[in-house]
Structure 1
Amino acid sequence: MILLSFLLLSAIFVSEACQVGFYGWRCDQECGFCGGDGACGKYTGYCSSDCLPKYWGLKCKKTCSPNCAGSGNCSRYTSFCDDGCKPGYRGFSCRGTCPRNCGGDGSCDITTTFCLHGCKPGYSGYNCSWKN
């Protein structure tokens, strides 16, 4: 009988929903920057919909790189920048820098670091590292 009472009380407690924007056993933890209505899973804190702009992760608590170009948004699951990198930065999440002697706007290939607009005057080579 005691076990049955415990199970019934547990079922009532467990099924109780949290106020939107909160999660946890006591609904005392704040959801991340969840889009839509801001709801997240009661026990996991995982956002029910996409993240708000410039946030990523299952809980939408991580910020996209400040070096993301365009909208500055990134993929919720990978943190890869949606619109590529700002000039001078590389990598899928734009956290790496291009060689400092890249010409033009200083941009380079996100994976190879090859300077997209040649080298600054006085430099040459694959990644503009050779001084002429």
Structure 2
Amino acid sequence: MCMPGNDTCNQTGPNGQCCEHYRWNKTTRECTLCPQGYTGETCDAKCPYPTYGVACQSVCACQRMLCNVVTGCPVTDGCQTPGRYGQKCDLTCPSTCQEQRCHIVDGSCSGCIAGWAGDFCNKTCKAGWFGSNCSENCSDNCIDQLCDNRHGNCTRGCLAGWMGRNCTRECPLGLFGANCKQWCSPHCAFNDTCDKTNGSCPRGCQYPFKGSNCDFRVMLQKADSVSSDNDIQYAYIGVIVVLATLNMSSCAVFIFRRRRCLDEEQKPSSVYITYPTQQTIMTDDTNVYLELHATTNDDSNHNRSSLSST
């Protein structure tokens, strides 16, 4: 095989066999180089984009539509002042053209600076895109996936768990939240580090802390303990008051009964007096009371006489 630059290649027969970018010349019976910008066995095919020039060995750095297979990308060559184009070099290339280079005839850009797109680089990047010719995506970690169209910096900050201008760095150990601005709780069980997005402890909390982040309920836990101690104290006081009341009631009953017994002992004996029986006899005119003392007295005397004789 021959290399580009040789005039002749391996020839086998009248038709011969030429290297790429060369063709067989029947008149001279030798391989000759294709014209600039062309290739193929008969040199009738244009250099594929982005190549151009002799043997298609040069590469265009501009858009396909601006790449000339013979001369490559258009420049302002011919105008003494850079950034100018037109027949009289009196027109200015768009400021958004890369290196401020544009086609010398129509002023189209050979490339755009970051944040711009289009033949004349007059279109800003759509939301979610940035960079030269708007060819790069904003980071998925940007809030709402929005970034500035030139450098890709997240305009609304980072999602929880990420940090950096482009939100491409994860939170370091011990930090969490949006832009990694919050510290993990030191009370995670087993000294675990918290979740980088919400700060939660993966295996719970150290005693006596509670809550998903093991920190916001610390004061509530202490308050519950104090309240519980107070409840126990109040219960003890209540029991003491009840026992004291029962004791005082028992003493009062005992004193009352004791006094009653003393009063009974000091009370004088009862004296029974027998009064003579009276009988009332009703008459028509007046009430006449017949005393029966005589009969009673006679019976008493009789009983006494019997006792004496005995």
Using structure 2 for the length normalisation, give the TM-score: 0.25
| Total equivalences in the alignment | 97
Paired letter, 2:131: G
Superposition deviation, residue 95 in structure 1: 0.2
- Whether contact under 8 Å (1:56, 1:64) holds in the other structure is yes
* Partner residue of 1:62 out of 132, 136, 139: 136
Superposition deviation, residue 33 in structure 1: 8.9
Which structure 2 segments of 5+ residues have no match?
1-77, 79-85, 88-102, 200-205, 207-310
Quick check: which has more Rg, 1 or 2? 2
1:81 aligns with 2:148: no
Q: Distance in 2 between matches of 1:79 and 1:64?
A: 6
- Whether contact under 8 Å (1:33, 1:52) holds in the other structure is no
Residues 78 and 33 of structure 1, relative CA distance in 2, 3 Å threshold:
closer
Residues 68 and 87 of structure 1, relative CA distance in 2, 3 Å threshold:
same
1:39 aligns with 2:112: no
Q: 1:53 — aligned with what? A: 127
Paired letter, 2:155: D
Q: 1:3 — aligned with what? A: none
Residues 86 and 51 of structure 1, relative CA distance in 2, 3 Å threshold:
same
Question: Where is the helix percentage greater, Structure 1 or Structure 2?
Answer: 2
Deviations 1:62-111 (A, max 9, x none): 111111112x1101122110111111111111000013554xxx415x4x
Using structure 1 for the length normalisation, give the TM-score: 0.50
Residues 100 and 33 of structure 1, relative CA distance in 2, 3 Å threshold:
same
1:115 aligns with 2:179: no
Superposition deviation, residue 14 in structure 1: 3.2
Q: 2:105 — aligned with what? A: 15
- Report the identity percentage: 18
Per the alignment, in what secondary structure is the counterpart of residue 52 of structure 1? Answer: coil
Superposition deviation, residue 114 in structure 1: 4.4
Q: Distance in 2 between matches of 1:115 and 1:94?
A: 16
- Whether contact under 8 Å (2:115, 2:124) holds in the other structure is no
Q: Distance in 1 between matches of 2:118 and 2:181?
A: 43
Paired letter, 1:39: G
Superposition deviation, residue 51 in structure 1: 0.6
Per the alignment, in what secondary structure is the counterpart of residue 104 of structure 2? Answer: helix
Residues 40 and 82 of structure 1, relative CA distance in 2, 3 Å threshold:
farther
- Whether contact under 8 Å (2:115, 2:131) holds in the other structure is no
Superposition deviation, residue 121 in structure 1: 2.3
Which structure 1 segments of 5+ residues have no match?
1-6, 42-46
Q: 2:39 — aligned with what? A: none
Q: Distance in 2 between matches of 1:124 and 1:50?
A: 46
Tell which has more relative contact order, 1 or 2 (C-alpha 8 A, sep 6+): 1
Superposition deviation, residue 40 in structure 1: 3.7
Paired letter, 1:86: L
